[in-house]
Each structure stands twice: as C-alpha cells, then as structure tokens.
Amino acid sequence: MKFETPAKTNPIDNLKVVGQPIHRIDGELKTTGRAMYAYEWHDPNLHYAYGYPLGSSIAKGRIKSMDVAAAEAAPGVMSVVTTLSVGELGKGKLNTAKLFGGDEIQHYHQAIAVVVAETFEQARAAASLIKVEYQEESGTFDLAEAKMSAVKPKDTDGAPPDTAVGDFDGAFYAAAVSMDETYTTPDQSHSMMEPHASIALWHGDELTVWTSSQMIDWWRSDLATTLGIDKEKIHMMSPFIGGGFGGKLFLRSDAVLAAIAAKATGRPVKVALPRPLLVNNTTHRPATIQRIRIGADKSGMITAIGHESWSGDLPGGGPETAVMQTRLLYAGENRMTAMRLAELNLPEGNAMRAPGEAPGLMALEIAIDEMAEKLGLDPIEFRILNDTQVDPEKPERPFSHRNLVGCLKLGAERFGWNDRKKPGARREGNWLIGLGVAAGFRNNLVMPSGARVRLGNDGVVNVETDMTDIGTGSYTIIAQTAAEMMGVAVDKVGVHLGDSRFPISAGSGGQFGANSATSGVYAACVKLREAVAMRLGFNSDDVVFENGEVRSGNRSVPLAAAAGAEGLVGEDTMEWGDLTDTHQQSTFGAHFVEVGVDLATGETRVRRMLAVCAAGRIINPITARSQVIGAMTMGVGLALFEELAVDTRRGFFVNHDLASYEVPVHADIPYQEVIFLDETDPMSSPMKAKGVGELGLCGVSAAIANAIYNATGVRVRDYPITLDKVIGDLPEVA
Amino acid sequence: MRAFTFERASSVEAAAKSVASNPDARFIAGGTNLLDLMKLEIETPTHLIDVNGLGLDKIEATTDGGLRIGALVRNTDLAAHETVRRDYGLLSRALVAGASGQLRNKATTSGNLLQRTRCPYFYDTNQPCNKRQPGSGCSALGGISRQLGVMGVSEACIATHPSDMAVAMRALDAVVETVKPDGTIRSVKIEDFHRLPGDTPHIETVLERGEFITAVSLPPPVGGRHIYRKVRDRASYAFALVSVGAIIQSDGKGRVAVGGVAHKPWRLEAADVELPKGAKAASGALLAGSRPTEQNKFKIDLVERTLGAVISEARG
Ligand SMILES: Cc1cc2nc3c(=O)[nH]c(=O)nc-3n(C[C@H](O)[C@H](O)[C@H](O)COP(=O)(O)OP(=O)(O)OC[C@H]3O[C@@H](n4cnc5c(N)ncnc54)[C@H](O)[C@@H]3O)c2cc1C
Ligand code: SF4
C-alpha cells in the first residue's frame, strides 16, 4: 500500500482498541524474567562457548604484532581470533569505523581480538594475556582545537549542510534587538541498561544470530557485507531489547565477533561487550559547538535567525545535525543555518536519543529565552509571536498540523507559569527556585514498513514483522492495531517481532517506529480483510469487522469461520508518497520545569516537570506516556550531568563505566506530568499518529537551563550544568 | 579476572598468617570493591581468604563509654544501630549517604576503610597510573581530574579516598584495631591510618602485609550537632565531589573533616580552632596550601560554601 493522499475515515477511527490505555502485553514476560534478551538465549541442547573481546589500547595507529601464545595456552581456551589473523573484513554500509579485521586502529577500544573459551571467566582471563605491539600515530581529539579546520560535510542525512533565505547578515545588523551567543554540548553516551550482546551459530554456510538490535535488516545487511557472505544466509533474531537509544541502530562488533568466533570453533558462541567497552568501542553522540544569532524588531518579531554548528567525527563520518529544528521552528524572513564537520580520531559519532534536535534545542531554546529577556517579553509570548504555520525556508510548504501554541498555552496554565518570578527572586530555605520553559520539536519521519498477518481457524490473529520493541511498547501497539482492524480483542492477537524471517519493517529509531510499523500492520490487515471478504463472498467495501465477527448487510459470520482450515494470510508493506515533501510533518511540545538550586553548593535538583505534546493520534496513552517520561528523564541527565570526558592527549573517553558517566537515578526525578493534546494528523499515515518518544526529550534540557537561570540569575551555556559552573556567581552563604 | 583459590578463615590469626605467607593473597569481606577490581584486573590476587565468618560483626559498648564496631559489621547495620544513631549521628548519616542500599548491605566497616580510589585512570589498565602500576606515571595530572584531590597531593598521584564513612570516623577520632600475622595487636588512630600519596601512592595505609583489622572503636560521645553534607552532581548513588562532616557544639566550637579533597579524610586541628569564627576562617585553615588542578579548583570554594551552610544549619 502506498500512502499518497491524506487519510480518510478508516477502521482505526473506531478507537475501540487503538487509543485505549492498554497495559503492555509483554509486561508479564518481562516482570517474570521470561522475556529472553540476546545473551540469555539458552537451548539446553546447545553447547555454548564464550567469546571475550579485547579492545585497542591506543586511539590511532597500526598493530605491528600480537602475541597470543599465552592466551591460547590458558585454561579452557579454544581459539583466539585476532584482527590480524582474520585479515581484512568488509565494512558495513552504515558503519563509519570498521568493526574488526586488519591492522589499522581508528579509535580507542576498537575490537582487536576475541578469545573463545569454555566459560566466560576463562575467556576473560585469557584476553588479558594477549600482548600487542603498536605503531602509535598522533591524532586529533579536541573539537575546540579542530573547529578551525572543520569543513562543509557531504553527508547530512539527506539534508543540505547549509541553508540561507533572504539577507541574514543585513537583517541581523539592522535589528533593533539582537543576541549572538555560543553554546556547547559534550560528547554523550547512550548508556542503555543492556549491553550489546550476540550469540552466533553456524550450520554449514548458514548463520543464525541472536542479538540486541533496533534494526534487524540494517544489521543483517551489514553483517553480510562485513563477513562477505550472502545476506539470505543469515537468520537474525532480536525479540527483546534492553534499551538502545540509537546505540543499537547499526551493526556492532559483538555480532561480528560472535560470528567469527563461532566459525573458528564450530560452536555457538556468546559475546557481550563489557561495560567499559560500550563507550569507546561503539558509538556516541558527538559534542557540538553552536553559535546562535537572533535579531528582532522592538515588538519581538524575529527578523533574522542564524544557527551554526560544529561537530567532529572519524573520517567518512557525518555531523551532529544540530541546526535542523532552527530551519523550521520559528518565523523570520532572513535566516541561515550551517553545519561544519571536523575530523576527529575519537570513537565513531552517530545517532543517539533524538540526534540533531536534542542538542540543537539545548542551544536554541536557551537562546530564545535570552532573546525574550532582552526584548522584555515573556518567553512563551515571544515563542507564540514567532510561531509559523509554514516551513519558513519554503513558505509554500505548510505544516501538516502544528499546534505548538496550544502546547505552550495549556502548559503555562497547568504549570502555574504566571507565578514565575524575576531571576534570583524566589528563595525557599536554602533553595533558589526557578521555572523554565522550552519548546519541544522533533520531525515526524516515516519509513517503509512491512508485516504479515495470519488469521487462524481459532479466530486468533498473528502478526509477524521484523519490527523491534526496544522497551517502547511495539508489541502492544501492534496488537492494538491488528485488533482494531480485524475487530477482535487484544488478547486474540499474537505479535511476533524482531526476526529476519518476517517482513522488513521500519525498525525502531528516530521516533519513526510506532507510526510506520503500525501503518505496515494496517496495510497487511487491509489485505487480510480483503481475503476474508473474498472468502465469504462479501463486498469488501461494506464489510464490518467487529466483536470477532464479519458483517455485511444483515449477514454475519464469526471471523474464525472465515479463516477456513488453513487460515488466511495478508501481507503488505506500507510505502510513502510525497506528503512528507509537500507538507512539513513534525511533532510539537512544551516542556516546563521547576528547579531548586542549592544556595551554598550550586547543586541543581529538578522539582517538577510537565510536558505537553502535540503528536497526532496517541495510539496508547500508557506506552506513550512511558516514552515521554523516559525521555524527560534523559533530558535531566543531559542538562545536569551526562558528559563523556575526553582525554585529549590519548584520545578516548575516560569515564567509560556507569559509576563515572552519570545518568539520572530515581532520586533525581520528581513527579512528571504528561499531557497529550487530543489531535490527529491525517497527513502522516492511516493511523493519523506521529512519533512521540523523542519529542519527550527535545527541549527538556534547555527548559532546565532556563529554570536554573530563573532561579539564580546565572546563565550557563555549556552543558552539563554542573555546580562548578554556577557557584562562582551565587550569593555569599550567610 | 584471574583464577583464584578460596579459603574460609578459621580464626583471625590464621587469616593474617595466610595473607602474610602469600604475596598474592587478599582478605575478602563484602567483596563490593575487591571483586570489581579483580574483574578489571586492577587487583589480581590468586588466593582469597573469606573473613566473614569470624564473629567480628558485633557492635559493643566499651568500658570507657565508647563503642567498638566489629570490622565485619555491615554498613547498613552500623548506620541503623540505635547507639550510633543517637550518639554518633554523623557516622550514621555519612554511611547512608554512600553507595546504595544493596551495596551497604554487603559492605563492611573494614572494607569501607580500605576501599580504593575512584580516579578514572586507575580503572583503565591501558593507562599509566602510579597507584596501580608504580613508576608508570600519573595520567590524571594534565588529564581528567575534576573528581580528584586538592590537598596533600603529590607529583606522583592526586587521587582521593572516596569513603563517606571514613570522613565521619575522622571527625569522631576513631581508632582502628588490628592484629598482625605474628599475633601482635595494635591500635592506629584514624588520622594516622591512611597515608598521603607521596612517592608511593600504591601504599595507602599504614597496615603491614597480612595485618588484619578486627574493629574500629569510637571514643565516648562528644554531643553537639552532627551534620554530614555530601555534595554531588546527581542526587544519589554518586561519590562526593566534596563532603563536609562536622560536629558543632552550642558554643560554636567543634570539629570538621572533609571528604573528596585528599588521599585521606581531611581534618586539621588548626581548622577546628577556627570554626567558631565561621566557614571562611575554618576552610581557609583547612585548605591552606591547596594544590588544585584547573578542573577541580572549584572544590576550594565549594568546601567553604558547604561548610558555611553546615554551620548555619548547626546554629539554626
Ligand atoms: C557502585 C558503587 C558505588 C559506591 N558508592 C560509594 C559512596 O558513595 N560512598 C562510599 O563511601 N563508598 C561507596 N562505594 C564503596 C563501598 O563503600 C565499598 O565498596 C565497600 O565499603 C567496601 O567494603 P567491602 O566489605 O565490600 O570490601 P571488600 O571489597 O571485601 O574489601 C576491600 C578491601 O579491604 C580489604 N579488607 C577487607 N576487610 C579487611 C580486614 N578486616 N582487614 C584487612 N583488610 C581487609 C580487602 O582485602 C580489600 O582489599 C561504592 C561502591 C560501589 C561498587
Ligand atoms: S591520580 Fe593516582 S590513581 Fe589517578 S592516575 Fe594518577 S596515580 Fe593513578
């Protein structure tokens, strides 16, 4: 099915199941420990071996030699495969740095060997016995230093690196009120709970891989390329994923090492990346330096807006696309954006937790707050004044649906925004209290997505798609979609995900998963409904699927009966026409935060949070809320403490464990309120839904930064906003 | 982690002898620090002697009116003990500010005193670190040092001792009781127990090889307000950037020990004397001669401000 014209009324609009607050259908499996994560697959008939990876101890150079004699002789060891012994391997299309093979070292903790032993402990102990001789080369590790040599990037996810409309320079200099500030965001780590892990098993030339992947087909294709085998020979499964946040979008070394180790030993081999390797062996979100200039007339209308961003990556990599939202969020006749990319020899930078918009809004939404203050306007008023219903770079392109203003207004009312005081003016005991707001914005992406739906003679509907559930609720919303379409209850739907034998789906990333994958299920269900109608001799236009029955006129047949002995199958892929070109599809939000800053120590603690989201139809308010509060939690981390500390001499992230890379703990997170505006977007899909997960993050950190400013009068433009950046300007302690 | 053999000690003396006779042997108490270090091969013992079953898990009143805490008393039990909460509130508060509930259930008094630094380079065996590998250099100097020390640091090492409990014990003038492999018993004042890094940062305490901690005793209670203020980026489950443990009497006199600034809990008599004059004076005396790095110089200001808050809390 191709989605080419705005959705009309369709069976989803019945909202008997879709839109209902249904608890996760896989919840019980998870709470009882029966959901099998990658490393936990255990077939008692298989005799697993354990692979332990060794990472490079230098950031750049070549390996001269490796001495594996001691490791090979260690107890329990079956095989030691090194990056030298395996020779050159292919590089996946979506990987920047190669994952294994050859003597070149491109980054710290790059995988250089895998030791396979009878037990995990034996493999780990032996790995440390490998001696490596390197030819170390100097590299560039400091973005601030490399900024001068940054160039216009080629690859920016299909968008131009630079855009310009009108005469930005002229308008900026002529503006009655203007601001020009630079903001920085640090390198950040996904830090999901489940590490990358894979089990590989060969039967002849056929490879089976259990892994933890957000994108089955991307992984399968890139694993085939890396190993130089036919993709069809790989069977990949990833039914449960303990978080990915972008870190599991692209093939990683665990799958490659497991496959190679399994080949070398003829055994099924388990490989998990140890936590210290997660940071430097895999990907991270690159640091940014962002300059924002805004000019406005006295009334507060933006006349010029410019956003430039610098980031770095390994050769062949891409930039952090931090200027994207600035192209779309606010009006203004004269505008410019530009991205520049420096070459850095740090580990690979790539997608993490709302790439582009998350760090982009961290800067832009502070700038908006600063500008509002200069203009003497309330920051909400300033945002409303500069709202736009069209793509400001291409005014002929309207937004499909945009209610940022509604989010801001409702949020202001619910949060008690009017109680906000002047900076530094509200004190409770030892706490300085402040309120902050930021706009939330994230584009709604759509991806082709396929599914197969089987109707059995027991009336049960089974959905198969290689879609993944990374903790988001895919199982549940897919069940809801199929239940609504086929007129059955959710408990009459089985959902089977994350298996390369199933139709290729959107996968999970860029908040495109829910809308795209349920649309794919919708398309397959349309096919199945046609098959049912045909079998029953019904005119498919007036068939109603309801309460486990199929009705046409005054005829009514149980759905189970229509299935026949063999059952019926519907399979299709949702593809997308040009509605995303003719219309700008985005999701909107308003984030409100109250913080307390300790007068003496400068510690910031978040006291209240509210997100108001306008993101099309909400398929399930429970799972959507979970997405948003999880994202808001990440926003707290990014605002207050998440930072990969770069050793710019040796070229690696020093704090490579969860004790030193701090993510929020329960005590950091206060009551979080989420409101979804009741809306649909017929331009987005037959579901009339959009992405929502990443929207929950976009803007949060800036709202916190603005709240800290309101609390203290101290404006910090370098994230994370730790106490050392604040205390110097706090009042004396009594 | 290297393979190791495991032995359950039958007596304190046997345990001490066992470690003394084998340079690659270690005691294991709660294991919450040692096992992590073994997994990363920062410590590579080949023999572990489990000292949990020696009956050293009691808290008893001493004849002079103080308290004797068995070396194997769990941090959770110590923090919850009635006498500790009533008379040594500082200790209880410092303990619950540390780690997490699960860790405190395992962690012991002796293990906590002997826990090793959280300098990030100490945890990466690819990097030079004088504490882990004497003579290899100090990566933190000129590197990432935000968490590290500002007092008593050396050219060889600027690491801090990360314990919260030890800061309270320092303010309480605790005494560490030990048994040497030859059976000799000695008592070491907490102020003498941890060493400054000097040229030998890998030697962290005055304990001799095989010397075993049996208990920590506290002198009779001194009264006053007991305040422990731990400052950190996130609200829980993080080591202190700095922490201030103070006992302040109604006349404004008192004592203060500070964590997160040195290779040992940091307390100076001279600073205690200044306390009645206020935070500026006391912290000035406490941190005189500090040698911070660019990344951690904020700690100087932070100690003073935090102490200021502690003093006003004590008054209020
Ligand atoms: C994630 C995490 C967070 C933490 N956060 C904090 C924190 O915020 N604040 C804080 O203070 N601590 C914190 N800790 C550290 C924790 O307090 C220590 O790990 C714990 O106190 C160590 O006690 P243990 O009994 O487990 O020691 P073990 O690991 O068993 O032993 C540690 C060392 O002491 C030696 N030893 C033990 N007993 C004796 C004895 N009787 N005589 C001689 N030698 C002995 C052992 O040989 C070993 O070298 C944290 C730890 C972790 C893992
Ligand atoms: S400060 Fe001490 S522990 Fe840290 S790297 Fe230097 S020597 Fe090692």
Query: Number of C-alpha atoms within 13 angstroms, CB side, residue A156?
Result: 25
pLDDT of residue A680: 97
Q: Ligand 1 pocket, B110 CB below 6 A?
A: yes
* Catalytic annotation present for A484: no
Q: With an 8 Å Cβ cutoff, is B238 touching chain A? A: yes
What ranges do the domains of chain A cover?
Answer: 2-35+446-579, 391-444+585-733
Choose the closest CB to B298 out of A668, A720, A727. A727
Rounded mean pLDDT, A517-521 = 98
Q: What does pTM read for this prediction?
A: 0.98
- Give the tens place of pLDDT for each residue, B247-286: 999 999 999 999 999 999 999 999 999 999 999 999 999 9
pLDDT of residue A539: 85
Rounded mean pLDDT, A690-699 = 97
Residue A568 to residue A541: CA distance in whole angstroms: 19
- Give the tens place of pLDDT for each residue, A42-51: 999 999 999 9
Residue B23 to residue B20: CA distance in whole angstroms: 7
Identical fold between A2-35+446-579 and A391-444+585-733: yes
Q: Which residue of B has its CA nearest to A654?
A: B120
Residues with CB under 6 A from ligand 2: B 117, 119, 121-122, 129-131, 138-140, 148, 157-159, 201
pLDDT at A734 over 70: no
Q: How far is the CA of B118 from the centre of ligand 1 (A)?
A: 12
pLDDT at A617 over 90: yes
Residues sharing a CB contact under 8 Å with residue B15, sequence separation 6 or more, in sequence order: B9, B27, B49, B51, B54, B212
State how far the alpha carbon of B77 is from the alpha carbons of A469, B91, B96, B167, B239, in Å.
42, 12, 11, 18, 21
At the second CATH level, the architecture of A2-35+446-579 is 2-Layer Sandwich (3.30)
From the CA of B128, give the closest atom in ligand 2: 5
**Nearest C-alpha neighbor of A222 from the set A93, A317, A124:** A93
CB of A437 closer than 8 Å to CB of A592: yes
Q: Do B233 and A641 touch (CB under 8 A)?
A: yes
Q: How far is the CA of B204 from the centre of ligand 1 (A)?
A: 14
pLDDT of residue A154: 87
Q: Which residue of B has its CA nearest to A120?
A: B1
ipTM (interface predicted TM):
0.97
- Any idea which ligand is nearest the CA of B157? 2
CB contacts < 8 Å between A and B, how many?
Answer: 105
Sites in chain B below the pLDDT cut of 50: none
Rounded mean pLDDT, A78-93 = 98
- Give the tens place of pLDDT for each residue, A218-232: 999 999 999 999 999
pLDDT of residue A530: 96
Q: How confident is the model at residue A456 (pLDDT cuts 50, 70, 90)?
A: very high
Peptide bond into A239 cis (omega under 30): no
pLDDT at A490 over 80: yes
Residue B133 to residue A149: CA distance in whole angstroms: 38
pLDDT of residue A447: 97
At the second CATH level, the architecture of A391-444+585-733 is 2-Layer Sandwich (3.30)
Residues B161, B163, B168, B172: is their CA dihedral positive or negative? negative
Q: Which among A660, A663, A704, A721 is the top mutation candidate for probing chain B, defined by the most B β-carbons within 10 Å of its own β-carbon?
A: A660
Q: How far is the CA of B291 from the centre of ligand 2 (A)?
A: 15
Choose the closest CB to A657 out of B1, B123, B146. B123
Residue A281 to residue B230: CA distance in whole angstroms: 34
Q: How far is the CA of B227 from the centre of ligand 1 (A)?
A: 23
